[in-house]
Amino acid sequence: MKRRTVLTILLAVLAYLAGGAALFQRLEQPLEQRRRGLALGARFSFLEQHRCVQPQDLDTLIQELLWAVEVGVDPTGNSTDFTTNWDMGGSFFFAGTVITTIGFGNIAPKTDGGRLFCIFYALVGIPMFGSLLAGVGDQLGSALGQLIGKVEQLFLRWRVRVTVVRVVSATLFLGLGCLMFVFSPVVVFQWVEGWSALEAAYFVVVTLTTIGFGDYVAGNDSSRVYKVWYKPLVWVWVVLGLAYFVAILSMIGDWLRVLSRRTREEMEGFTTQAANWTSAIATDIKGVRWDPRPLRQLSPPRPPSPSPLSPGGESGPGHQTTPAPPQTPLPLPPQPRGRERARPRDYPLPLTLPLTPPAGPSAHRIPGRKPGLHRRGAV
């Protein structure tokens, strides 16, 4: 890729980031300010109602609750209904978020041993998952390609144009993938998690694009009872969905490469044609030479230009010049008078002028006219 292209893409990305930052700030900052005002108001009201509580003690309690939330503990629940995030299902889901590079952030290792093990586990697991993702993507693309190939053969039997068949096949590929890995999970998460359609779609897109904010996580609601196999099943959906997205991105990359190759070939062909045309025109211009000799034969000789010499042949005291030899003009054929004068298209000039005019009455006859049509009184 050329340096100018890289700089253009960089400027476009920076402009896109600046526009997104401005829009996010306008959308999210007012809510943050309202929440901050409500939190400060609630703290002040609690201290007013409970004067026996010191502000330092309240701040310590709030900090402890924040630490509990950070490790995944819900401080609003009852102590008898405690559920751990590090059971087999939750640990399996966390390990899947590590090697898939999603990293929701709702739970994370807090011990030194857990963090050290997470480093080596990610370094080994991410390449393994990349290989698995490539293989699953190929198999998934092949399966969908075979299904769409049968549809293409059906359309070709109906004598549909190839361009229309390609558009229909791409639409079917996108539609089937979105139905299996986007729309169906949205409905399932609405039913299991109790989310709205927007929240479920938000979680699906954030997960399959490996963004993983962690504000919405499947199976993380302490007020609900989940099956043991629910989180592993969510991880399987993540693997298949990521494979589908990889297939989509590879297909888009192939389309872009083909388009850029065709554009480059067309531009190279156009440049070659323009260079050939320019060289041909330059060769023709160099090969054409103007020969003034025929014009000199047809045109009468110019009279000699008057010399600035004095009548005695002197332009000054003690200066003499030799006059040029006289030139004998070529005689011209006699021209008729009045209406008998021929027009250029009726009386073309000969290429070789005769030295003596032809004698006889036919010398004054105009070509193309019959005798006896001259003006009366013309000689």
Does 198 have pLDDT greater than 70? yes
Q: How far apart are CA 315 and CA 285, in angstroms?
A: 46
Residue 308 reports pLDDT greater than 60:
no
Highest-scoring range by mean pLDDT, 115-129, 144-158, 248-262: 115-129
Of the pLDDT bands very low, low, confident and very high (cuts 50, 70, 90), residue 223 is: confident
Boundary of a domain, candidates 239, 271, 303? 271
Residue 345 within any structural domain of the chain: no
How, if at all, do strands 319-320 and 314-316 pair? antiparallel
147 and 37, same structural domain? no
Residues for the chain: how many in total? 379
Last residue of a domain, one of 70, 98, 127: 70
Residue 209 makes CB contacts below 8 A (sequence gap 6+) with 245
Split into its structural domains, the chain has a count of 2
Judged against a pLDDT cut of 80, whether residue 38 lies above it is answered with yes
Place of tokens 């190839």: 162
- 281 vs 116 pLDDT, higher one: 116
142 & 46 share domain: no
- Mean pLDDT across the chain: 75
Note whether 60 and 174 are same-domain residues. no
Q: Are 177 and 248 in contact (CB under 8 A)?
A: yes
Q: What is the pLDDT of residue 116?
A: 94
Q: What would the mean pLDDT of 41-69 be, rounded to a whole number?
A: 88
Together in a domain, 156 and 235 = yes
Q: What is the mean pLDDT of residues 190-219?
A: 90
Is 379 domain-assigned?
no
**Residue at a domain's end among 236, 271, 306:** 271
Question: Does residue 96 sit in the same domain as residue 226?
Answer: yes
Q: Would you state the pLDDT for residue 138? A: 79
Are residues 247 and 192 part of one domain? yes
What mean pLDDT do residues 161-184 have?
Answer: 82
Per the domain annotation, does 339 fall within a domain? no
Q: Residue 200: CB partners within 8 Å, gap ≥ 6? A: 185, 186, 187, 189, 190, 193
Q: Is residue 369 part of a domain?
A: no
36 and 107 in a single domain? The answer is no
Percent of the chain with pLDDT over 90: 19
Give me the percent of the chain exceeding a pLDDT of 70: 65
Is residue 125 one of the residues assigned to a domain?
A: yes
Q: Are residues 55 and 107 in the same domain?
A: no
Ramachandran class of 49: left when φ > 0, alpha when ψ lies in -120 to 50, beta otherwise: alpha
Would residue 346 count as lying in a domain? no
Q: Indicate whether 100 and 238 sit together in one domain.
A: yes
Let me know if residue 366 belongs to a domain.
no
Question: What is the CA 368 to chain-centroid distance, rounded?
Answer: 71
The answer to whether 181 touches 72, Cβ cutoff 8 Å, is no
pLDDT at residue number 66:
83
What is the average per-residue pLDDT within 55-63? 89
CATH no. for residue 234? 1.10.287.70
3-state SS of the chain?
Answer: CCHHHHHHHHHHHHHHHHHHHHHHHHHHHHHHHHHHHHHHHHHHHHHHHCCCCCHHHHHHHHHHHHHHHHCCCCCCCCHHHCCCCCCHHHHHHHHHHHHCCCCCCCCCCCCHHHHHHHHHHHHHHHHHHHHHHHHHHHHHHHHHHHHHHHHHHHHHHCCCCHHHHHHHHHHHHHHHHHHHHHHHHHHHHHHHHCCCHHHHHHHHHHHHCCCCCCCCCCCCCCCCCCCCCHHHHHHHHHHHHHHHHHHHHHHHHHHHHHHHHHHHHHHHHHHHHHHHHHHHHHHHHHHCCCCCHHHHHHCCCCCCCCCCCCCCCEEECCEECCCCCCCCCCCCCCCCCHHHCCCCCCCCCCCCCCCCCCCCHHHHCCCCCCCCCCCCCCC
Does residue 102 sit in the same domain as residue 38? no
Range of the domain at 27: 1-70
Residue 306 amino acid letter: P
pLDDT for residue 84 = 75
Please tell me the predicted confidence (pLDDT) of residue 126. 93
- Max Cα separation, the chain? 148
Mean pLDDT of 72-97: 76
Does residue 126 sit in the same domain as residue 160?
yes
Asked whether residue 92 falls in the same domain as residue 222, the answer is yes
Q: Does the residue 324 lie in any domain?
A: no
| Identity of the highest mean pLDDT range in 171-185, 305-319, 325-339 | 171-185
Lowest mean pLDDT among 64-68, 173-177, 267-271: 267-271
